[in-house]
Structure formats: C-alpha cells, structure tokens
Amino acid sequence: MKKLLLTLSSTLILATTGMSVVSCTVKPEKEVILLLPGESIGSGSTYIQDAYREIANQFNKDHENDENFVPVKVVWKPSGTIQSAILSGDNLPDLYVSYPDQAALYKSTKLANKTRDMKVSMIGNDQDKKGIDAWNNFNDDLISPSFLKEGQYNNEQLVLPFGKSFDVSVINVNLFIDYLSIYDENAAETIKSNYEDYNKNNRAALTNSKGKVSDISFFNKSLSRKILEITPETTRNEGPAKWAKDLAGKTDVDLISGIREIFKDIDKVLKITSDYNKLDQYVKTHPNQNAIDVKIKDATWKEKTTDNPKSGSVVVQGNKSINKNYAFAIDSLANKFLMDYSAKTGNEIINTTDKDNNFFYSVEYAKQSAQLILNNEWEGSENTLKYLDGMWDIAYANKNWKNSSVFTEQWDGVFATSVSEPKKIYTSTYFANGTTFMAAGSSAGSYNFTKNSYINDQKPNEWGINADKNIDITYSGVKNADIITAPSTSGVGTGNAFMSQGPGIAGSNRTGQMQQKKKKQLHSFYNIWFNHKFQLNLD
C-alpha cells in the first residue's frame, strides 16, 4: 500500500509540471503546488507528508536543469482550506488529495470549469495511443471497477484512486477456540492444531515460523460450564458444541472458511454474544469468581534502568488496560449498512439519487439543497437491524443503562462502537486487549488490532519478580497468528463485502503560457506512473 501511494504520488508530481503555478490564494506561485489537506491527511500523519516531500525533493533534484522546469512544492494545510477556496472563489491547487464527494463540490461552484478530468489528463486530448494503453492497463489492475466509479461525477473522472483502505472485520480465532473449548475441549484442541498448521503452511511470514497462537487462556472452563448450564447430554449436537465438532473435521482453507461462515451468521454471532455476556455479568456480581479469567503467559518485564537492566517473562492476569469486555465491535455503523446492502444485492456502488436503488434511502437534489427520502425497500438493512437489535436486546436485559448514561458502561459485556467522548476511541483498542471476538475498522489502522499493551512502573514484589528496580511490563492480547480477516456479519446466504474507503488524487485545470509549454510533458509523465502494477491483499 505504501509503495502504491508513493508511486502514484511521484507520477502525479511529475505530471503537474505541465500546469501553471497558482495556489489556493490566487497569488501566483513559483512552484507547482501539491496540497495535502487536513480532511484527507491528518496533521499527525507526518510519515505520509514526509513521503510526499521526499518524492518532490528528488524530482526537483533530477529535473532542475530541464527546459522550462517548475519545481514542486508539497504543502499541508488544515481542514477547511479547500472549502474556503470554494466559498471565496479562489483558485484550486494544481493537485490535491481529496475524497470524491469533496472534489464533486467544485462542480456546484463558479470554479466548476477549473476541475480537471483526470482520465483526459492521462490519455491526452489528442488520444495518444500510449495514453490509452496506460489507462487501460491501470483500469485492468484495479481489483474492482468501483474504485474508478466512486471518483466519477457527471461523466468526468474527478478523482483517481490511490492509497485505498477497507472497512474490514478481524476475528480473534484464539479467543474463539478457547470459547469452543467450554463446550468441547477435545474438538477445540484439534481446531487449534489445524489452525496453527494453516498458519505455518500459508502465513509463516505474517505469523511466525511455527504458526503458533498466543499462549493465552481466556475462560475458567469449569465455572463457565456451570454458568452456561452446559452438559454433554444437552449440547452435544447443537449450538457451539456442534460448531466445534464440524470445525474439527476441517483443515487448511476449509477450516478458515468454516470459521468465517460462523461469524457471518447473525444468529450464531448473537449466541456467542449471549454466552459471553452471561459470563461477564457473572464476574460483575461475583468478584472473586472470574469466569472470564484472562492469563497472558508470554508477557515480558524489564527493569526501569539503563544500567544492565534485568528482564524476563511474567504472566499478566486480567484485562489490565481497559477493564471492560465487548464480545463484538464495529467502528462505523453507517459502513455496516452499506456493506450489508452490497452483500445482499451484489451492487458495489449505491446510486443515492436513484429512488429505486432498494437501499434504505435516496436523495433528491434541487440547486444547493437536498432532501433525504426513506425508501420502501430496505434490502440488506433487515440483516443490519437484526444484528443491532439482537445486540441491543442483550445489553438492555443487563439493565446497566439504569445506572449509567455512559455508552461504554451501558453496553459493557456486549457490543462497542467508536466513540468520541470524552476522547476518540476506536474499537481496535478493545480488540487489542484480547477479549473481543470480532471487530470491524479501517485496514489503514490494522496494526492497532495487534498493538502491544503496557503496564509501567510496577513494584516487582507485587508480581513475584526478583528485581532491584521498578519494572515495565509489555504484553499483547492479540498477535498476527491469532487473527483472520472476514467480511461483515451480513447473514446466511449473502455475499462477502468489504467497503472501499480512503481518498484519491484530484487536480484543477490551469490556463496560460505555462500550461501550453508543459502540455506534452504532463501527458508523458502520467503515462510513466500508470504503467506500474500494484496489488492489494486483505489477508
């Protein structure tokens, strides 16, 4: 993904030497301006900003002696910079990182004729064969036509895709296997062995040479069976016991597919949630009887000193970083509606201006206003609502909502979504603790699903450790070997949907002597980049 971003950026920077040099402020500039707006690239994403600047600096160095050369300047500006340009009628930057809806706004302003059709820029007005071939090659390389379609508006390609991310779900297989062991320990042990073989044979580079899952136990099995009223006679051929038996007979990709199908089934997801919630609520009412009894056995400690610090292994018990357990978590509920619609209908793009789109809403536009209309047909949404209503029923029965107005308290033991108060928390924070079965979020932040947790400045005697100084403890509730990606829980018999998201690259037309001088160079430099190939791999 990083290579894709860098390569595309390089080509577009090269291409912009064919444009004149006017910035957002209308004041003529001596450089080509590539704008990185805050809406698309946050102020904290300095590594992305640095990558753009590195490419621009290298390009300027390589071409400084070219005839009519214009240097490139990468500029980051806070959110609202482009919007201010729209409202004031200022010129747009030569190139800018933009989401499609942002770029389309220009078409309803007096700057409409300044927006650049990126396809025309690449092919060239004279329909050069190299340009056409480059465009076709680029189009063929995309994993879905929707990548281009989402950047089209009024038959123009306003935005080209790059740096795409996905709303993708992640399953904690290690936690799931430990849950199944409550019902059938022997089958769960077989599943674990077969899953680790799959890791070793198919994902050794991503996991570890042996494919081993993290050495973590999550549940007190005997107590959990008592709470859930599990007996061999009543559960052998139904529910999770049957799932375990069926999965134990699968290996390799069939096992992975079998796990994904369970997490695609709304009824099965709600069964897992219901069981998990019963265990979590029992812990709250019986503080000394931990049905959810997390023991992370491969944690490490290190003395807080630079003078030959001692270090070693330690067992971390319990959910130390955030003392809450959520069975399932989704960052964006809006995205889930979209993915469940796509999974049900097979449509990759929703035309919200079409009242017959069978999505739950459509939009009627009139000049600068828009009217939202709830449609009669809600394809896919019935599955979304079944999922959310089922989670709500479980949480409501806990009656935590009577004692707290805080979302995280009301839904503790059941479900989490991204919250902004008192500070922004993504669901990957909960997932990384190791006590969430499945979470959905952006692949751009996928590293957060397996990030380490820390317990700092601890007294060693409280941990049974022989050390002279206080210690810092590092542990991980989830590692790469523990997880697989999955589509949305969209219901039995539906397709598999991942939602594409992320910005693209847009541009603006320029006039004048500079544009004419560099027209051929602009066209040729576009072709340089679009002959590069790229791949995206979700797993």
What CATH code is carried by the domain that includes residue 109? 3.40.190.10
Q: Are residues 36 and 94 in the same domain?
A: yes
pLDDT at 86: 67
Half-sphere exposure of 135 (CA within 13 A, CB side): 17
Q: Are residues 285 and 424 in the same domain?
A: yes
Q: Are residues 387 and 437 in the same domain?
A: yes
Residue 338 lies in a domain: no
pLDDT at 254: 97
Q: Are residues 63 and 92 in the same domain?
A: yes
pLDDT at 91: 66
pLDDT at 270: 97
d(CA 235, CA 181): 13
Residue 346 lies in a domain: no
Domain that residue 145 falls in: 30-164+502-531
pLDDT at 301: 93
Q: Are residues 286 and 388 in the same domain?
A: yes
Q: Are residues 411 and 441 in the same domain?
A: yes
Q: Are residues 158 and 205 in the same domain?
A: no
d(CA 185, CA 421): 41
Q: How far is CA 110 from the centre of its chain?
A: 36
CA angle 464, 468, 472 (to 5 degrees): 65
Find, among 144, 114, 104, the residue nearest to 24 by Cα: 114
Q: Are residues 173 and 158 in the same domain?
A: no
CA angle 482, 487, 490 (to 5 degrees): 130
Half-sphere exposure of 43 (CA within 13 A, CB side): 3
Find, among 297, 326, 339, the residue nearest to 314 by Cα: 297
pLDDT at 440: 93
Q: Are residues 94 and 159 in the same domain?
A: yes
Q: Which residue stretches of 184-295 are H helix?
A: 185-202, 221-228, 232-235, 239-248, 252-264, 266-285
Strand ranges (DSSP E) for 121-207?
Answer: 152-153, 156-157, 160-161, 165-172
d(CA 300, CA 290): 23
pLDDT at 320: 43
DSSP 8-state code for residue 92 = P
Residue 511 lies in a domain: yes
Q: Are residues 228 and 297 in the same domain?
A: yes
d(CA 311, CA 304): 10
Residue 250 lies in a domain: yes
Q: What domain count does the chain have?
A: 2
pLDDT at 126: 63
Burial 500-520 (b: 16+ CB within 10 A, else e): bbbbbbbbbbbeeebeeebee
DSSP result, 364-382: EEETTEEEEEE-S--TTHH
Residue 240 lies in a domain: yes
pLDDT at 127: 67
Residue 21 lies in a domain: no
pLDDT tens-digit profile, the chain (539 residues): 333 333 333 334 333 333 333 333 444 456 777 888 887 777 777 877 887 788 778 878 887 887 777 777 888 888 888 777 767 767 677 788 888 877 877 777 767 777 888 888 778 766 677 778 878 888 888 878 888 888 888 889 999 887 678 888 999 999 999 999 999 999 999 999 999 999 999 998 888 778 899 999 899 999 999 999 988 776 667 899 999 999 999 999 999 999 999 999 999 999 999 999 999 888 888 877 888 888 888 889 999 987 889 999 998 876 543 457 899 999 999 899 999 999 999 988 888 888 889 998 888 877 667 788 988 888 999 999 999 999 999 999 988 777 777 777 788 889 999 877 667 788 888 898 888 999 998 887 778 888 888 889 999 998 989 898 999 999 888 999 999 999 899 999 898 888 888 788 888 876 555 555 444 444 444 443 444 333 333 33
DSSP 8-state code for residue 209 = T
Residue 180 lies in a domain: yes
pLDDT at 174: 96
Contact call for residues 357 and 375 (beta carbons, < 8 A): yes
pTM over 0.85: no
Q: Are residues 67 and 192 in the same domain?
A: no
Residue 255 lies in a domain: yes
DSSP 8-state code for residue 22 = B
pLDDT at 421: 64
Q: Are residues 406 and 515 in the same domain?
A: no
pLDDT at 243: 96
